[in-house]
Amino acid sequence: MSTKTGEGFSSSFGAIMAAAGSAVGLGNVWRFPYICGKYGGGAFLLVYVIFVLFIGMVLMMSEFVIGRRTGEDPMKAYTALKPHHPGWKYVGLAGLLTCFLILAIYLVISGWTLNYFWESLSGTLAGIADTGFEAHFNQFASSAGRPVLFIAIFLFLTALVIVGGVDKGIERVSKLLMPILVVLLMALCVRSMTLEGASAGLSYLFKPDFSKLTGEGVLAALGQALFSLSVGMGVMIVYGSYLPKDDNLLKTSLWITLCDFAIAIFAGIAIFPAVFACGQDPTGGPGLVYQVLPVVFNSMGTVGRLFSIIFFLLLSLAALTSAISLLEALTQWLSGDRIGRTASAIVMSLIVIILAAAASFSFGDGILSGVKIGGMQLFDLLDKLTGTILPPVCALLTIVFFGWFMNKEDIIDELSNHGTVKIGYFKVFYHFLVRIVAPLALIVVLVTGIIGN
């Protein structure tokens, strides 16, 4: 129990499951496979692994240190560490704002996923002809009522867990759902790999093609590494504030990172061999999951329906544990000394669902699709802000604070659990990665990203 409010994870295992639950989400199952295939398979993977280990994991450890050291929400944490420089709290605020925007768009996609889970169960998807899925998706996602209904159901489930509390809600649910998720994913992998013609999918995913690894691909790899590990926007400061005091922060970060990476790879193995075996187009991009996979499932006959249910359940569960961490960050911040956890979760949910509904209405041919902000529909704007711009900006500010402004002795003390854990890696971690490599890489990505636009 490490926070000021006395809330916290009850064990290191529970903490790892909760943080891995945050990391493993739509980013792994929905996004990773298609961008990995798009930017050169093995070539992309190589760059991605480097970013994950040397930037993503470094940020995660840094956020854990900030969170556990202070036991505060992201805004108060910066103030607690730098009481005479109140400006730093705006870094925490920027992170929370990013969480809010991510949650809004995340809810839209989670709502789609939940709807597809329902349509797999009820048999609706099984009744659609192969050529009809694109129209089906567009018509559904652009309609007004149904997507919002599923957003509301999904948000209700998320808030329910938050209201349960950190250990009795978040930790308990994560300990239950993460193993289920792994089992479901393994079942899909086995099915996909044993289909005839599956190997073409594996080589699409893994065979390095350096000609496809463009500058844009490198940027995508970094953005994906941050998004997938849930780092940069303060969520891991929040979870860090709940970590047990004797938890080994290096080990915990390493486990979460490995878990997140492995699940992304297995998601690719579950999807591409099946897509190739059925002769479908692997470059379906964001629509792959909703427009191409249903065709694949339908071609498998009756068992296909079962695999469709398994897949959309898996995706819904993965999204749920990530949405929980985003709503928790906002709830912890709002509750503070002001209002209780339940009231604060309800208020935050009511505010975020307005933005999520607006984003949903702006999608495709929706009723708000004519409204443009900076020339973009709201959904696309949110997607761009949360996918490529805000996380690297917040990550850069966080790592600069950690490496250049936070007291080094405090960091050593926290990472070593007051001298009880060996931290021989500290020199490389701090002097090389935290102070130089991570900030420089983030600056390069941001500058090229901005120029490239």
> At its nearest, how many Å lie between ligand PHE and the CB of residue 255?
15
Quick one: which segment of 36-44, 222-230, 283-291, 354-362 binds ligand PHE (CB under 6 A)?
222-230
How far is it, in rounded angstroms, from Cα 147 to Cα 361?
9
- Out of 174, 253, 298, 325, point to the residue binding ligand PHE (CB under 6 A): 325
Burial 21-44 (b: 16+ CB within 10 A, else e): bbbbbbbbbbbbbbbbbbbbbebb
Q: Which residue, among 254, 260, 355, 304, has the nearest Cα to 31 in the 3D structure?
A: 260
- Out of 230, 257, 360, 377, point to the residue binding ligand PHE (CB under 6 A): 230
Using rule CB under 6 A, residue 28 touches ligand PHE: yes
Q: Which residue, among 90, 96, 88, has the nearest Cα to 406 in the 3D structure?
A: 88
Using rule CB under 6 A, residue 227 touches ligand PHE: yes
Residue closer to ligand PHE (CB basis): 188 or 411: 188
Residue closer to ligand PHE (CB basis): 228 or 349: 228
Using rule CB under 6 A, residue 104 touches ligand PHE: no
User: How far from 447 is each of 64, 185, 231, CA to CA, in Å?
Assistant: 27, 37, 20
Residues 351 and 326 sit within 8 Å (Cβ to Cβ):
no
Q: Measure the N-to-C terminal CA separation of the chain; round to a whole number of Å.
A: 46
- Out of 26, 36, 269, 309, point to the residue binding ligand PHE (CB under 6 A): 26
> At its nearest, how many Å lie between ligand PHE and the CB of residue 259?
12
> At its nearest, how many Å lie between ligand PHE and the CB of residue 42?
21
Quick one: which segment of 21-29, 156-164, 301-309, 418-426 binds ligand PHE (CB under 6 A)?
21-29
Using rule CB under 6 A, residue 223 touches ligand PHE: no
Using rule CB under 6 A, residue 55 touches ligand PHE: no
Tokens representing residue 316 in the block: 């819904």
Quick one: which segment of 63-71, 131-139, 223-231, 411-419 binds ligand PHE (CB under 6 A)?
223-231
Residues facing residue 376 across a β-bridge? 373
How far is it, in rounded angstroms, from Cα 28 to Cα 293?
16
Using rule CB under 6 A, residue 316 touches ligand PHE: no
> At its nearest, how many Å lie between ligand PHE and the CB of residue 213?
21
Quick one: which segment of 57-65, 177-185, 225-233, 347-355 binds ligand PHE (CB under 6 A)?
225-233
Using rule CB under 6 A, residue 25 touches ligand PHE: yes
Quick one: which segment of 184-192, 239-247, 318-326, 400-408 binds ligand PHE (CB under 6 A)?
318-326
- Out of 19, 75, 235, 393, point to the residue binding ligand PHE (CB under 6 A): 235
Using rule CB under 6 A, residue 228 touches ligand PHE: yes
Using rule CB under 6 A, residue 326 touches ligand PHE: yes
- Out of 102, 151, 330, 434, point to the residue binding ligand PHE (CB under 6 A): 102
Number of residues that bind ligand PHE (CB under 6 A): 15
- Out of 2, 3, 5, 22, point to the residue binding ligand PHE (CB under 6 A): 22
| Residues in contact with ligand PHE by the rule CB under 6 A | 22-23, 25-28, 102, 227-228, 230, 233, 235, 322, 325-326
